[in-house]
Structure 1
Amino acid sequence: MRLGLRLPQRLGVDLQHDLVEAARTAEAAGYDSLWTYERLLFPESPLEPYAPPDVPWPESSRQVADSLAVLTAAAVVTERVRLGTAILIAAQHTPVQLAKAFATVDQISGGRVIAGLGTGWSSDDLRAAGATRADRGRFLDETLDVFDAVWGPDPVTFRSPRVVIDNASVLPKPVAKIPVMLGGGGSNLGRSTSAKAVQRIAQRADGWLPLLTAPGPAGAAELRASWNRIREMASEYGRDASRMEMVVVGNVTFTERPAGRDRSAFVGTLDQILDDVHTAEQAGADELIVDLNLQDWFTSTAQMLETAVEIREGALAV
C-alpha cells in the first residue's frame, strides 16, 4: 500500500516557505503522493458542526489555503509524487475554469495530477459560492461532463444548463487523461453514502476516496465490503473495475494516552495510528492519505513533518 500526505494549508503555516519544504520533505521521505483539501471560510457560528452531534471545528481550520495553488507550488519543487485533491467541492467551482486549472497544473507537473471531487456538505461554503445543498449532486455530474468534453479533442461543443461551449478550442489539455476520484463519505454505504453517490462512483470514477471510520478487523471488513460492492457495480456497467483505486483518507488526531475501544480510526497514540495504517491495508486500500492538518497542538510545520516522517518509517516497519 502506498502512502500519501496532505500538505499543510492550515492556520499558522508560512505559505511562502512551508509548502515547498513540506513537498520536498515528503518526497524525500518516500511518500508517494501529496494531497490538498478545501474549505472556503469559517463562520463564527457554522451551520454544521465539524462532527455530529456538536463537535466544534478545530481552531487551525480557520485557514485552508487554496487547494490548486498549493498543488502548483508542490508541482514545481517535486519530480515523482502524484498530486491530488481530496477533495474539491464541485459546486463551489465553475466547471470550465476548474477543468482548465487541473489541466494547467497537470502540465506543470508533467502529468501527475489526480482530480478528487465531492459533493460537499458545508452549507456555509456552498452559499458563499452561490450554490445550495440541493445543487450538489447535479453540479458534480455537470462538472464531470465538462471534464470529459474539454479534456478531449478540440474543437469542443458542449451544452448544459450552466455551460455553453460552441465549437471552441479549450486549452491547455492535460498531459494524459487525469484520473478522477470521488469521495463518498464513510465506509458503510447503506448509512453514510447515498445510493446516487455510490452509483456515480461505480459508473464514472477512476477511484474512491473514503474515510476509514472504525479501527481493527471490523473496520477493515466494513470498508472492504463497500469497496467490493462498488467494483461489482462498476463491472455491471461494463467498466474494468481492476483499474479503479481506493485511496483511504486518514484524518489523524493524536492523544497522549491510548484511546479506548470505542475510538474512531486514526484517533490515538502513534502505535494506534500505525495499527490503523495496517487496517487500511487489510481493507484493500491502494493508498492511504495521512492528514495532520487538524492537529491544533502542532507548533510548527517542521514538527508536523517530523511526525509525518515517523509515521512513514513506522508503516514500513509493520
Structure 2
Amino acid sequence: MKLGLRLPQRVGVNLRRDLVEAARTAEAAGYASLWTYERLLFPQTPAEPYAPPNVPWPETQRQAADSLVALSAAAVVTEHVRLGTAVLIAGLHTPIQLAKQLAALDQISGGRVIAGLGTGWSSDEFQAAGTTRADRGRFLDETLDVFDAVWGPDPVNFRSPRVVIDNASVLPKPVSRIPVLLGGGSSAKAVRRIAERADGWLPFLAAPGPQGAAELRERWDRIREMASGHGRDAGRMEMIVVGNVTFTDRPAGPDRTPFVGTLDQIMDDIHTAEEAGADELIVDLNLQDWFTSTRQMLETAVEIPGRAHLS
C-alpha cells in the first residue's frame, strides 16, 4: 500500500510558501501522491452539521484554498507524485469548465492527475453555487458524462439539461485518460455508480482494527464484483482510503473513530487500511489543531512513512 498526503489549505497557511514546501517535502519523503479537498465557504450558522448528529464545522476549514489552484502549484515543483482531489463536489462546478481545468492540470503535470469527485452535502455551498442539494446526484452523473465527451475526440457533440456542446473542439485534452474516483458509497445508488462508472473508490474506515478492515474489504469486494458484472476490468480499479487525522494527548478508547488517537494508534489505522486491501491511503493533517505551523505538520508527515513499513 502507498501513502498520499493532503496539502495544507487551511487557516494559518502561507499559500505562497507552504504549498510548495509541503509538495517538495512529501515527494522527497516517499509519498506517492498529493491531495486536496474542497470547501467553498464557511457558514456562520450552517444548515447541516459537519457530521451527524451535531459535530460543528472545523475552524481550520474557515479557509480552504482552491483545490485545483493548490495542485497546480504542486505540479510545477514535483516530478513523480500523482495529484488528486478528494473530493471535488460536482454540483459546485460547471461541468465543461471543470473538465478543461483538470485536462490543463494533467498537461502541466505530465499526466499525473486523479479526479476524485463526490456529490457533496452542504446546502449552504450548493446555494452559493446556484444549485440545489436535491439535484446533487444528477449533477455528478452529468459531470461524468461531460468528462467522457470532452476528454474524447473532437469535434464534441453533447446534450444534457444544463450542457449543450454542438460540434465544437474542446482543448486541451488530458495527456491520457484521467482516472476518476468517487467518494461516498453509503447508499445502493452510490455503490452502483462507483461500480458502473468509476476507476476507483475513496472511502473512510468505519471502525478501527480487524472489524474495520473486514467491513471495508467486504464493501470493496462487492463493488468490484458489481463492476465485473457490468463487463468492466475490476482489477484496474483502485481503493484509496481517506484518513482524516486528529491526534490526542492520551490513547483513545476502544470505541474511538479511526484516525483519532495517538501517533501509535494512527499507525495501527494505517495498517488496518492495508489489511482491508487499500491500494493507497491519504494522510490528512489539515484538521489538526495540534500543529502551530506547516513546518511542524511536515515533521510528523515525514515521520509516518518511515514508521509504517508498508508492503
**TM-score interval, normalised by the smaller of the two chains:** over 0.9
1:69 aligned residue: 69
The whole-number CA distance in structure 2 between the counterparts of 1:95 and 1:219 is: 35
Q: Which amino acid aligns with 2:26?
A: A
User: What is the TM-score with the length of structure 2 in the denominator?
Assistant: 0.99
What is the SS of the residue equivalent to 1:218?
helix
Report the CA distance shift for 1:284/1:317 in structure 2 as closer, same or farther (over 3 A): closer
The whole-number CA distance in structure 2 between the counterparts of 1:306 and 1:82 is: 21
2:11 aligned residue: 11
The whole-number CA distance in structure 2 between the counterparts of 1:262 and 1:50 is: 20
Q: Which amino acid aligns with 1:110?
A: G
The whole-number CA distance in structure 2 between the counterparts of 1:146 and 1:51 is: 31
The whole-number CA distance in structure 1 between the counterparts of 2:229 and 2:308 is: 35
1:258 aligned residue: 251
Tell me if the contact between 1:231 and 1:241 (Cα under 8 Å) persists in the aligned partners. Answer: yes
What residue ranges of structure 2 are gaps of 5+ in the alignment? none
Tell me if the contact between 2:9 and 2:286 (Cα under 8 Å) persists in the aligned partners. Answer: yes
Once the two structures are superposed, what CA deviation does each residue of 1:109-139 show, in whole Å capped at 9, x if it has no partner? 0000000000001111111111111110000
What is the SS of the residue equivalent to 2:301?
helix
Once the two structures are superposed, what CA deviation does each residue of 1:187-228 show, in whole Å capped at 9, x if it has no partner? xxxxxx111111000000000000012100000000000000
1:189 aligned residue: none
1:95 aligned residue: 95
Tell me if the contact between 2:151 and 2:173 (Cα under 8 Å) persists in the aligned partners. Answer: yes
Task: Trace 1:1-318 onto structure 2 (pairs within 5 A).
Answer: 1-184=1-184, 193-316=186-309
Tell me if the contact between 2:114 and 2:181 (Cα under 8 Å) persists in the aligned partners. Answer: yes
Q: Spell out structure 1 runs of 4+ moving beyond 2 A.
A: none
Cα distance, 1:20 vs. partner? 0.4
The whole-number CA distance in structure 2 between the counterparts of 1:314 and 1:130 is: 46
What is the SS of the residue equivalent to 1:51?
coil
Q: Which amino acid aligns with 1:224?
A: R
Cα distance, 1:316 vs. partner? 2.2
Cα distance, 1:317 vs. partner? 7.2
Tell me if the contact between 2:11 and 2:62 (Cα under 8 Å) persists in the aligned partners. Answer: yes
CA root-mean-square deviation: 0.9
The whole-number CA distance in structure 2 between the counterparts of 1:51 and 1:137 is: 19
Once the two structures are superposed, what CA deviation does each residue of 1:263-290 show, in whole Å capped at 9, x if it has no partner? 0100000000000000000000000000
What is the SS of the residue equivalent to 1:34?
strand
Once the two structures are superposed, what CA deviation does each residue of 1:95-114 show, in whole Å capped at 9, x if it has no partner? 00000000000000000000
The whole-number CA distance in structure 2 between the counterparts of 1:66 and 1:51 is: 22
The whole-number CA distance in structure 1 between the counterparts of 2:72 and 2:255 is: 40
Cα distance, 1:297 vs. partner? 2.4
Q: Which amino acid aligns with 1:105?
A: L
The whole-number CA distance in structure 2 between the counterparts of 1:125 and 1:307 is: 32
Cα distance, 1:298 vs. partner? 1.1
The whole-number CA distance in structure 2 between the counterparts of 1:270 and 1:128 is: 38
The whole-number CA distance in structure 1 between the counterparts of 2:40 and 2:254 is: 35
The whole-number CA distance in structure 2 between the counterparts of 1:30 and 1:105 is: 22
Higher deviation after alignment, 128-137 or 200-209: 128-137
What residue ranges of structure 1 are gaps of 5+ in the alignment? 186-192
The whole-number CA distance in structure 1 between the counterparts of 2:217 and 2:126 is: 31
Q: Which amino acid aligns with 2:179?
A: P
Once the two structures are superposed, what CA deviation does each residue of 1:13-66 show, in whole Å capped at 9, x if it has no partner? 000010000000000000000000001000111111122111212211100000
Tell me if the contact between 1:58 and 1:296 (Cα under 8 Å) persists in the aligned partners. Answer: no
What is the SS of the residue equivalent to 2:289?
coil
Tell me if the contact between 2:2 and 2:310 (Cα under 8 Å) persists in the aligned partners. Answer: no
